[in-house]
Amino acid sequence: MTPLFALATSFLWGLADFGGGLLSRKTPALTVVIVSQSLAAVVLGAVVAVTGAWSEADARLWFAVAAGVVGPVAMLSFYKALALGPMGVISPLGSLGVAVPLAVGVALGERPGPVQCAGIGVAVLGVVLAGGPELRGAPVRRQAVLLTLVAAAGFGAVMALIAEASTTVTGLFLALFVQRVTNIAVGGSALLASVRRGGRALPDEGARSAVVAALPALAFVGLADVAANGTYALAARTGPVAVAAVLASLYPVVTALAARVTLGERLRGVQAAGAGLALMGTVLLATG
């Protein structure tokens, strides 16, 4: 079941990133994050109330709080890096966060077999290439690289933390709810600070109507992100963390394919080769 849950995570994260990216073209990215997470928190709150998940609150919820704090920091670092450097370099570097849950798996005593090790290497290389790395052009600012590495470490840390936040399905609902509430608190504080410095919280024109019209899409982005966190936690619980982490990190491929199908964006040769390698690595991991 681990490969199935992990691939579902990639699919959901890939679609969430694609939807969030489109929405961020008209609405400030931090606002997209806060609104989408708030809508998801409402749904999760209802699920927690119906299932009585509050009864399973224990010390593991601190892992969810930590994931909720780290997540917005990683996102803000990533967006800042994208503003400073070429996306073709920044995006593949961001996927290197998979190293964090891989290291956690090794620390917990996991030892993937030879076939799975080969699959991990092939899949990680495929994910990096699928981002379409720019090997020529202007040099990348050191600050952009550092911010991207911070973001990658943050994304990987969220994967590791949410996998430890619960031991049952209902407990997972509660952990995801706590993570979302923390996301909103941290992101809201950052947005408030930005507005006080003169930043925008809403689109310049037709602010209210634009946000209202985008509510269904924002809800989808938030719920897809929640579902991805949930399926990843299940993947990490039912099998090796190393396998779950690598398969869950294939989401850049999904984002690129979504852009190809929806926006007609053409994949460059290196991206197509990366997608093929990622698929080959998936097969090796699933059969290893």
Query: Which contacts of 222-225 are long-range, i.e. CB under 8 A and separated by 24 or more positions?
Result: 222/35, 222/36, 222/37, 222/38, 222/39, 222/40, 222/41, 222/180, 223/39, 223/40, 223/43, 224/12, 224/13, 224/15, 224/16, 224/19, 225/12, 225/13, 225/16, 225/36, 225/37, 225/40
Q: State pTM to two decimals.
A: 0.77
Q: Rounded to the nearest 5 degrees, what angle is found at the Cα of 83, between the Cα atoms of 154 and 138?
A: 110
Cα–Cα distance measured from residue 227 to residue 225, given in angstroms and rounded to the nearest whole number: 5
pLDDT tops 90 at residue 63? yes
**For residue 76, which of 121, 120, 28 has the smallest C-alpha distance?**
28
- When pLDDT is averaged across residues 210-230 and rounded to a whole number, the result is 87
pLDDT tops 90 at residue 178? yes
Helix axes 215-238, 2-23, angle to 10 degrees: 160
- Identify the pLDDT of residue 287: 57
pLDDT band of residue 66 (cuts 50, 70, 90) is very high
pLDDT tops 60 at residue 139? no
H/E element, 249? none
Render pLDDT for 107-133 as a digit per residue (tens, 0 to 9).
777 766 777 677 777 777 776 676 555
Q: How many other CB atoms are there within 10 angstroms of residue 80's CB atom? A: 18
pLDDT band of residue 227 (cuts 50, 70, 90) is very high
- Give me the DSSP letters along 139-169: PPPHHHHHHHHHHHHHHHHHHHHHHTS-SSH
Q: How many other CB atoms are there within 10 angstroms of residue 189's CB atom? A: 11
CA 195 to chain CA centroid, nearest Å? 25
Least confident stretch, 58-67, 201-210, 215-224, 262-271: 201-210
- When pLDDT is averaged across residues 203-208 and rounded to a whole number, the result is 60
pLDDT tops 70 at residue 134? no
- Identify the pLDDT of residue 286: 55
- Identify the pLDDT of residue 43: 92
pLDDT tops 50 at residue 138? no
- When pLDDT is averaged across residues 204-226 and rounded to a whole number, the result is 80
Q: Which residues neighbour 142 within 8 Å (Cβ) at sequence distance 6 or greater? A: none
- When pLDDT is averaged across residues 66-72 and rounded to a whole number, the result is 90
pLDDT tops 60 at residue 26? yes
- When pLDDT is averaged across residues 179-183 and rounded to a whole number, the result is 92
pLDDT band of residue 69 (cuts 50, 70, 90) is very high
**For residue 174, which of 40, 53, 59, 38 has the smallest C-alpha distance?**
53
Cα–Cα distance measured from residue 232 to residue 159, given in angstroms and rounded to the nearest whole number: 7
- When pLDDT is averaged across residues 93-108 and rounded to a whole number, the result is 73
Render pLDDT for 251-270 as a digit per residue (tens, 0 to 9).
777 877 787 778 776 666 76
Specify the higher pLDDT residue, 113 or 2: 2
- Identify the pLDDT of residue 155: 82
